[in-house]
């Protein structure tokens, strides 16, 4: 088993409040903090873990877009990927870049790099398409394990536990295969400063879509982009209830639209994350236990 | 010996500063706190004590990473998985 291709997407940071352009042609991206799509982080982490288990030899991180996506690739390299491929797409082409175009690029690269597996995030938090993995698998005519919450390579097959409505589904598929990561697959490691520095020594190859024989024409036209409807002002409650009331309001707002950055209540940061009641994290939850010290960590310093 | 630890301390400070860029209350808020914390112990000369303080800094790094992860995880969970809301 040789190589795994991981797709990483540069998106507007999840904590940023998304603003729609006045002409409704899209969202404001200039001067806005970007970072790696959270689901792509999970995909990178899974690939790196497979490498650490010596199941695979090399992890290649791919991203399509303008010069800035190199930062995202660099983050993937800092997390443990071995090398990067930057597919140069800019200007009009980048604006029209959709799941179909990206999956064509990924399929071409998977063939070129002779990858045994393509691991992607299940969807990006900006367009919420949830299509790239599926289309890549279709274009390559490979089996797919989508919404993976567990991945185990067994010889020439891979066992994927999938998150489906109301439960889990375990499937066994032949390699090569496309796997898309769900939220609970793993806990992505943080790209620390020393690792980012080390990652600067790793190579990022530049490729043009034309070199891969990929046509980027889009068949989708974005007619209009709108903000989700304004939420209603909350009524006032009493005591503890009122606090919970605002929490729910915020939860509502965050759940409203996929493109909603959602307001981050900075003031509440010192307190444990406001949750309506103690939220039982799922059994398969990979979240590390955070001690109370972290919540009051300001006093630690 | 002292020189060795000096490098460690500077490295720790840099790493924390880098992590602080993502701090929800803002990088400058974090930086102020960070600097105060380091300045408070500027006169420490006992290598053992300094090692202890470095270990505490490492602990804070781990906690921050966990905190950022959890914050992101919860945001994702709330946006995509809590269907009842």
| Tens digits of residue pLDDT in B14-59 | 999 999 998 988 889 999 999 999 999 888 888 889 999 999 999 9
Distance CA A238, CA A82 (A): 55
Q: What is the pTM of this model?
A: 0.79
Which residues on B lie below 8 Å from A293 (Cβ)? 59, 63
Distance (Å) from the alpha carbon of B2 to chain A's nearest alpha carbon: 22
Nearest residue in chain A measured CA to CA from B26: A266
Nearest to A288 by CA among B24, B73, B41, B20: B73
* Contact: B15, A290; criterion CB under 8 Å: no
Query: Are the beta carbons of B80 and A183 separated by less than 8 Å?
Result: yes
Q: Which residue of A has its CA nearest to B77?
A: A183
Asked if B15 and A193 come within 8 Å (Cβ–Cβ), the reply is: yes
- Diameter of chain A by CA atoms? 64
Residue A261, min C-alpha distance to chain B (Å): 9
Name the phi and psi angles at A202, rounded to 5: -75, 155
* Tens-level pLDDT at each residue, chain A (301 residues): 589 999 999 999 999 999 999 998 889 998 999 999 999 999 999 999 999 999 999 999 999 999 999 999 999 999 999 999 999 998 888 888 999 999 999 999 999 999 999 999 999 999 899 999 999 999 999 999 999 999 999 989 999 999 998 899 999 999 899 999 999 999 999 999 999 999 999 999 999 999 999 988 888 888 999 988 887 777 776 655 544 444 444 444 333 344 444 444 444 444 444 444 444 444 444 444 444 444 444 444 4
What integer pLDDT is reported at residue A279 of this predicted model?
43
* Interface contact A192-B15, CB threshold 8 A: yes
Q: CA of B1 to nearest chain A CA: how many angstroms apart?
A: 23
B67 close to A (CB below 8 A): yes
Grade residue B67 by pLDDT with cuts at 50, 70 and 90. Answer: very high
- How many angstroms away from the CA of B43 is the closest CA of chain A? 16
Amino acid A230: pLDDT: 80
Number of inter-chain CB pairs under 8 A, A vs B: 91
Which residue pairs, CB below 8 angstroms and at least 24 apart, start in B48-51?
Answer: B50/B5, B50/B9, B51/B5
How far is the alpha carbon of A18 from chain B, nearest alpha carbon, in Å? 14
Q: Which of B77, B82, B83, B84 to mutate to test the interface with A (most CBs of A within 10 A)?
A: B77
The rounded distance, in Å, linking the Cα atoms of A47 and A148 is 13
Q: Evaluate if residue B66 carries a pLDDT over 70.
A: yes
Backbone dihedral region of A97: left (phi > 0), alpha (psi from -120 to 50 degrees) or beta?
beta
Q: Would you call B63 and A258 a contact, using CB atoms and an 8 Å cutoff?
A: no
Flag whether the ipTM exceeds 0.90: no
Residues 1-30 in B contacting A (C-alpha not used; CB under 8 Å): 11, 14-15, 18-19, 24-26
Q: How far is A246 from chain B (nearest CA, A)?
A: 13
pLDDT given for residue A153 in this prediction: 93
Torsion region of B18: left, alpha or beta (phi above 0 gives left; psi -120 to 50 gives alpha): alpha
Question: What pLDDT is attached to residue B2?
Answer: 56
Q: How far is CA A108 from CA A140, A177, A215, A249, A281, in A?
A: 8, 14, 11, 45, 39
Which site among B53, B66, B83 would you substitute to test the A interface, given the most A Cβ atoms closer than 10 Å to its Cβ?
A: B66
pLDDT at A234 (0 to 100): 77
Closest CA to A284 of B12, B73, B44: B73
Strands A177-181 and A117-121: parallel
Residue B84 touches chain A, beta carbons under 8 Å? no
């Amino acid at each position: 088993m040789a190589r795994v291709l991981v797709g990483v997407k540069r998106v507007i940071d999840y904590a940023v409040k998304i603003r729609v352009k006045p002409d409704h042609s899209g969202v404001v991206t200039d001067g806005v903090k970007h970072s790696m799509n959270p689901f792509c982080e999970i995909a990178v982490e899974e690939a790196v873990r497979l490498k650490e288990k010596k199941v695979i030899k090399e992890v290649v991180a791919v991203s399509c877009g303008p010069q800035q996506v190199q930062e995202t690739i660099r983050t993937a390299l800092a997390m443990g990927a071995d090398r990067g491929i930057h597919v140069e797409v800019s200007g009009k082409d980048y604006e029209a870049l959709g799941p179909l175009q990206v999956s064509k690029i990924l399929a071409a690269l998977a063939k070129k790099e002779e990858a045994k597996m393509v691991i992607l995030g299940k969807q990006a938090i900006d367009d919420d398409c949830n299509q790239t993995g599926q289309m890549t698998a279709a274009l390559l005519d490979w089996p797919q394990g989508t919404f993976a919450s567990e991945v185990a390579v067994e010889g020439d097959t891979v066992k994927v536990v999938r998150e489906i409505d109301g439960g889990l589904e375990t499937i066994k598929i032949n390699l090569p295969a496309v796997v898309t990561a769900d939220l609970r697959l793993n806990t992505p490691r943080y790209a620390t400063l020393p690792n980012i520095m080390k990652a600067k020594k790793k190579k990022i190859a530049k490729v043009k879509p034309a070199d891969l024989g990929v046509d980027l024409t889009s068949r989708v036209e974005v007619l209009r982009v709108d903000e989700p409807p304004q939420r209603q002002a909350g009524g006032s409650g009493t005591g503890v209830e009122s606090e919970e009331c605002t929490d729910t309001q915020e939860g509502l707002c965050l759940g409203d639209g996929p493109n909603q950055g959602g307001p981050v209540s900075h003031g509440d940061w010192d307190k444990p994350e406001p949750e309506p009641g103690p939220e039982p994290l799922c059994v398969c939850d990979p979240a590390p236990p955070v001690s109370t010290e972290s919540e009051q960590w300001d006093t630690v310093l | 010996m002292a020189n060795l630890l000096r490098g460690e301390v500077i490295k720790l400070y840099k790493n924390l500063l880098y992590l602080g860029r993502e701090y929800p209350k803002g990088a400058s808020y974090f930086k102020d706190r960070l600097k105060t914390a380091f300045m408070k112990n500027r006169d420490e000369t006992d290598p053992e004590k300094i090692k202890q303080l470095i270990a505490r800094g490492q602990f804070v790094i781990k906690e921050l990473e966990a905190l950022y992860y959890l914050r992101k995880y919860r945001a994702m969970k709330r946006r995509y998985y809590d269907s009842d809301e």
